[in-house]
Amino acid sequence: MTRLMGLQFKVVYRKGKENLAADALSRVGHLLSLQAISEVQPIWIQEVLNSCVTDPKAQSILTILVVHSPDEEGYTLEHGLIKYKSKVWIASNSALQTKLIAALHSSAIGGHSGGKATYHRLKQLFHWKGMKRDVEHFVKQCQICQQAKHELIHPARLLQPLPIPQGAWTDWSMDFVEGLPLSDGSNTIPVVVDRFTKYGHFLPLKHPFTAQSVAKVILDNVVKLHGFPKSIVSDRDNIFTSAFWHALFSLVDTKLLMSSAYHPQTDGQTERVNQCLEMYLRCVVSDTPKQWKSWLPLAEL
């Protein structure tokens, strides 16, 4: 239907004898099995199509694309949708544009990211004139962002960064988010971040905890996916760090005697990830703070 909407046509009825091919296909009734394909069809696509009906620019573009697609300006017609450089082109419909921005900012996937992050996420899929200005205006008026986010300032002194890792998940940084309300028996989040890829794992834990309990959680959720690290940067004392290493290797029944080096320095990476995680949780569970545990998988995504 979306392909035929832009064409001038009429439906002509033909009797079965004059239309043997279609008539034969409609009478196939001896299939032994039924197979079905389930496909997601976004509802907003129909809203995009409806917005093009009342937009003069969209009508002029459609008139050209029906004859020749793509045109000289880079517009193409795919399944009834106007695309500009492989991105869905949105007509001048402020309600639809606001709805798309909200879907990639206020949802669980958007996580109330800042203006730049929301704009880069949006421009990968859609295109319309003034998109960056509209995104900045929407984020500035977001009530949840104003209530949950904090202001960042420049550091007071130079950092002492750690050496750059040689590969993914060989060097970790680890920290804890504590003081959370009890959620399904958990009130602490150990945050494990790979210093090379910056990917993080957020794990629920109950306080008080020991090095042995932390090692068990890390083994069940991180080590099983990425293997053992070469180094871990943590703000815990050297006694905890040493006990953690011994507990981690004892869980795999290793007989090697490991000793942990203690260097009192950090690059602040995990602290920054903690801020992002706390901001995300404040935005999504501001009304129901005891539900934060169920949002950790989406926060990690």
Domain ranges in the chain with CATH number 3.30.420.10:
171-300
Report the pLDDT value the prediction gives residue 119, as an integer from 0 to 100: 93
The total of other beta-carbon atoms located within 10 Å of residue 300's CB is 14
Report the pLDDT value the prediction gives residue 159, as an integer from 0 to 100: 63
- Give pLDDT tens digits along the chain (301 positions): 777 777 887 778 877 777 777 666 666 555 555 567 777 777 888 888 888 888 888 888 888 888 777 777 888 888 778 888 888 888 888 888 899 999 999 888 888 888 899 999 999 999 988 999 999 999 999 888 888 877 777 666 666 677 888 899 988 888 888 889 999 889 999 999 999 999 999 999 988 888 888 888 998 999 999 988 888 888 777 767 778 888 888 887 765 555 555 555 666 777 888 888 988 998 888 888 888 999 999 988 8
> CA of 293: how far to CAs of 44, 157, 166, 188, in Å?
31, 35, 33, 10
Task: Render pLDDT for 96-117 as a digit per residue (tens, 0 to 9).
Answer: 889 999 999 988 888 888 889 9
The CATH superfamily label for domain 171-300 reads Ribonuclease H-like superfamily/Ribonuclease H (3.30.420.10)
Report the pLDDT value the prediction gives residue 147, as an integer from 0 to 100: 84
Instruction: Output the CATH code of domain 42-147.
Output: 1.10.340.70
Q: Which of 298, 291, 300, 295 is nearest to 182 (CA)?
A: 291
Task: Render pLDDT for 126-150 as a digit per residue (tens, 0 to 9).
Answer: 998 899 999 999 999 988 888 887 7
Report the pLDDT value the prediction gives residue 155, as an integer from 0 to 100: 61
Report the pLDDT value the prediction gives residue 33, as an integer from 0 to 100: 58
Contacts of 243 (CB under 8 A, 6+ apart): 210, 211, 212
Report the pLDDT value the prediction gives residue 86, as an integer from 0 to 100: 85
Q: Which residues of 5-26 are buried (b: 16+ CB within 10 A; e: fewer)?
A: eeeeeeeeeeeeeeeeeeeeee
Domain ranges in the chain with CATH number 1.10.340.70:
42-147
**Angle (deg, nearest 10), helices 238-250 and 211-218:** 50
Report the pLDDT value the prediction gives residue 255, as an integer from 0 to 100: 58
Report the pLDDT value the prediction gives residue 221, as an integer from 0 to 100: 92
The pTM for the full model equals 0.57
Which residue type does 120 have? Answer: H
Report the pLDDT value the prediction gives residue 48, as an integer from 0 to 100: 85
Range 210-217 contact pairs with CB under 8 angstroms and sequence separation of 24 or more = 210/243, 211/240, 211/243, 211/244, 211/246, 211/247, 212/243, 212/247, 214/190, 214/244, 214/247, 215/244, 215/247, 215/248, 215/251, 216/247, 216/251, 217/190
Using omega within 30 degrees of 0 as the cis cutoff, is the peptide bond preceding 181 cis?
Answer: no
User: Which uninterrupted H or E stretch holds 77?
Assistant: strand 75-78
